[in-house]
Amino acid sequence: MRNRYTIEIADNSHLVVYCPQELLKDNVLKKIAFGSKAIEADLRPHPKKNNHIVISNEIQKLLLFPDFSIKMHVFVQHQVLHIGPLVGIFTAGFTPFPHRPIGERTNFFSKLLSVKTNVGAIPFVFGEQHINWEMGTISGYFYHDNHWQNMEVPFPHVIYDRIPNRKSERNPKLVKVKETLQKDYLIPWYNPGFFSKLDIYERLQQDKSAAVYLPETHPFTSFSLIEDMLSKYGHVYLKPINGSLGLGVHQILYDKIQDEYYCRYQDRDGVNLLRKFTSLEGLFQTVFANRNLEKMLVQQGIHLLRQEQRPIDFRIHSNKDDAGVWHVTALAAKLAGRGSVTTHARSGGEVKTVSELFQQEESQLYTEKLVHAALLLSNSLSNNMEGIIGEIGFDLGIDKHGDVWLFEANSKPGRSIFSHPELKDFDKLTCKLSLAFAVFLTEQTILHPEDDFKW
């Protein structure tokens, strides 16, 4: 059974640790460890308190333990008392400004790091430039008592990947850091990499229970592929294989009666357009003149639920908890902007709760269907994708027959739905579970180091 204890720092220079009696009852403890640092110490039963671990100033300095009074998890293995987890959050885009160290994303990281007390973890943010390889330490950014501070800490138990975009992800320096910390230091790294839409589709197709949620999807190969799919579905979507935020999404529609083609998309100035063409070739020569179609995929159009002729889709966040179990942590409806091809806010989309758009019976039915789909898809992806996945953002749709469809899965889900006042608590819950999963990973790596990191 996992326990949490308040870590207290005593003002003395002795290498003595006072522990609750229950930790020493069945264990001979000779060392105390924090992150990658471990030192020999004299571990004794605490004469009074059963919920405190008291370390001296000297031990604090040797372990590079931050001066926080916080309840932390404790793991005992091979005569070592491990305090943790110490969670490194790896990202890029740091600034020289002490109050906004991660630029526009500083507010998000302050919220993420603020849940440490609830979780019983010590999280910090760092980039490749903050690592001291020779000393095995990191100069990390901590958020404590409502302000940022920079502190030297050991290498962490686990690393949570918050690289902001695909360009940073491909940066050779960042790639090297990730490889070194994973392979040479055996530090579990969770939520690695952005998903490719085509890769997601191909992986989920191999799982029969997940495949029922997939719209027909193909890499773009020819106009005849689009013609075939238009004759089957009436409309299709062209999307960048590695796109995000709805950028570059085009809807192509075919009017059989008039024998005309339409393309709905957003131009470079952010204006929603609907253009008519007499042929598919003419449409492509005009709209896709300067685009690399080999990097696009073609997806079956779905006749979605609508309100006031505006399509509705749904954003669902799922997270693994401190037992490694998936939960749906947030669910919101998104209403497309008028004339928009997507439901993103930048195209005029609006975030709504499910109950704002549907009557109680429908709302309950749709919520149950979406939650069931998100949990099934989460388990399928974490079982079929490389790396350790701890959170996913899904874009799901429901058609006029009540069937659920998967449009996208995101390993670094955006957080725009939390601008809705009724979803603020879910914002905090997603942050909490993002770090709670680190507790589970830490426990697994300390107690079962022989297993590979695929939980």
Q: Is 416 exposed, middle or buried (0-12, 13-18, 19+ CB in 10 A)?
A: middle
Chain segment 60-85, per-residue pLDDT in tens: 999 999 988 889 999 999 999 999 99
Cα 411-372-161 angle, rounded to 5 deg: 15
Chain segment 186-243, per-residue pLDDT in tens: 999 999 888 888 899 999 999 999 999 999 999 998 889 999 999 999 999 998 887 6
Chain segment 139-174, per-residue pLDDT in tens: 999 999 999 999 999 999 999 999 999 899 999 999
288 pLDDT above the threshold of 70: yes
Sign (positive or negative) of CA dihedral 314, 412, 381, 242: positive
More confident residue, 453 or 429: 429
Tokens of 133: 């390889």
β-bridge mates for residue 45, sequence order:
19
Contact between 64 and 83 under an 8 Å Cβ cutoff? The reply is no
455 pLDDT above the threshold of 80: no
State the average pLDDT for the chain.
92
pLDDT at 347: 61
Note the pTM of the prediction, 2 decimals: 0.91
β-bridge mates for residue 4, sequence order:
73
pLDDT at 139: 98
CA 213, CA 232: separation in Å to the nearest integer? 18
pLDDT at 176: 97
449 pLDDT above the threshold of 90: no
Tokens of 191: 């939520």
What percentage of the chain exceeds 90 in pLDDT? 76
265-282 average pLDDT score: 87
Hey, which CATH number is domain 197-214+304-442, 3.30.470.20, 3.40.50.300, 3.90.1170.50, 3.40.640.10?
3.30.470.20
What is the third-level CATH fold of 3-84?
Barwin-like endoglucanases (2.40.40)
Chain segment 12-46, per-residue pLDDT in tens: 999 999 999 889 888 899 999 999 999 999 999 98
Which residue, among 413, 303, 302, 398, has the nearest Cα to 357 in the 3D structure? 398
Chain segment 312-358, per-residue pLDDT in tens: 999 999 999 999 999 999 999 999 877 666 666 666 678 999 999 99
Q: What is the DSSP string of 271-337?
A: -EEEEEESSHHHHHHHHSTT--GGGEEEEE---B-EETTEEEEEEEEEEE-TTS-EEEEEEEEEEPP
